[in-house]
Amino acid sequence: MDLSADHIKSLHKYELRILQSIEYLMSRYSWVPEEELVHNSRLSANEVHFRLSKLMEKGMVKYSQVPYPGYCLIFNGYDTLAISHLVKKGIISSLGSCIGEGKESRVYEALGTGPVILKLHRIGQRSFQTVRRGRNYLPEKQHCPWVLASHFSAEQEYLALCTLQNHVRVPTPLLMNRNVIAMTYIAGDRLSDCTLENPREVLDEIIAQVRAAYSRGYIHGDLSEYNVMFDGEEIWIIDWPQWVSPHHENASEILDHDLETITKFFHRRYRISSDMNEVRSLVTGC
> Catalytic amino acids?
222
Nearest in space to 78 (alpha carbons), one of 142, 151, 157, 11: 151
Distance CA 269, CA 252 (A): 26
Strands, sheet with 180-184, edge to edge from the N-terminal-most edge strand: 94-101, 105-111, 115-121, 180-184, 173-177
The burial of 275, by beta-carbon neighbours within 10 Å (0-12 exposed, 13-18 middle, 19 or more buried), is given as exposed
Closest CA to 154 of 94, 83, 62: 83
Residue 224 and residue 265 in contact, taking contact as beta carbons nearer than 8 Å: yes
Q: Is the C-alpha dihedral spanning 42, 59, 238, 261 positive or negative?
A: positive
The continuous run of DSSP H or E covering 109 comes out as: strand 105-111
Gap between the terminal Cα atoms of the chain: 50
